[in-house]
Amino acid sequence: MSVPESSRARWLGAAWLSSAMVLSGCGATISGHPVAGEAATVQAHVAIGLEELLPEQALFPAGYVVVVLPPEAAAQAAGDLNGIARGSAVYPDGCAPPEQRFGPDQTAIAVGTDDEARATITVELARTRQQLSALREQLAGCTELRVNQAGAITTVATQLDPAPPVDADDSIALRRTVIPDLGGAKLTQSMQTLLGQVGDVRITVTYMTFGAPKPDTAALNELFTATVLRVRER
């Protein structure tokens, strides 16, 4: 199955990150054991607006051109970053990501694109009352998913890594691949993600490529640390 180039650029113009729209899918239940768990809700509130907290161009690694997404495009991008587009069916049951709110001061996303490296680094800031530990518990029990969006099937595999040392209330590191049933290796989406939480702001920084190039972990770590510090100090 071929994917039109226009679809791949839907929410990022010329940037090919949006070819991640291909991530979708569902099918038979496979490995992954959702873990139910309730964590205390977050009480601390970061008063600064999320768009003000996004890192500007100067904080991104050299070579990346940065775009701040409007709310509707941010909603599309959020699904691309975890491999589960809005409205998708997810198996096993209980492994769908928590409901996320979009709109002014609910989710803000900035995407940096390096056309030469065919890579993007995306910073997502989201308001949440959920402790990050609840997400960690869910991810640990949902390591492999089948996702169905309007009949397009993908497998989403997630591996937790040691948490990054950062000045946040909590942090998570993970690697994820999104493999479409149709389309071949060139459409396999590879991501390395660092998450942190400061009060009610969840910070997610993701390095994304298609195929299997080596991720720029230094650039990812530097931008994540700088963004967490920016949120913490405001």
* Domains along the sequence of the chain with CATH: 5-233 (3.40.1000)
User: Is the CB of residue 158 less than 8 Å from the CB of residue 174?
Assistant: yes
pLDDT digits (tens, 9 = 90+) for 25-63: 333 333 444 443 445 788 899 999 999 999 999 999 999
Whole-number pLDDT of residue 104: 83
Mean pLDDT across the chain: 83
pTM: 0.82
Which of 193, 234, 200 lies closest to 217 in space, CA to CA?
Answer: 193
Which of 229, 231, 225 lies closest to 202 in space, CA to CA?
Answer: 231
Whole-number pLDDT of residue 56: 95
Among 120-129, 155-164, 165-174, 207-216, the minimum mean pLDDT is found in 207-216
User: Is the CB of residue 215 less than 8 Å from the CB of residue 209?
Assistant: yes
Distance CA 103, CA 155 (A): 29
User: Is the CB of residue 155 less than 8 Å from the CB of residue 229?
Assistant: no
User: Is the CB of residue 51 less than 8 Å from the CB of residue 68?
Assistant: yes
Q: Tokens 């991720």 — which residue? A: 215
Which of 132, 174, 121, 176 lies closest to 154 in space, CA to CA?
Answer: 176
Distance CA 211, CA 147 (A): 20
Whole-number pLDDT of residue 227: 97
- Pair of tokens at residue 230: 């920016």
| Per-residue buried b or exposed e for 185-221, using 16+ beta carbons within 10 Å of the residue's own CB | eebbbbbbbbbbbbbbbbbbbbbbbbeeeebbeebbb
Whole-number pLDDT of residue 208: 94
Whole-number pLDDT of residue 43: 86
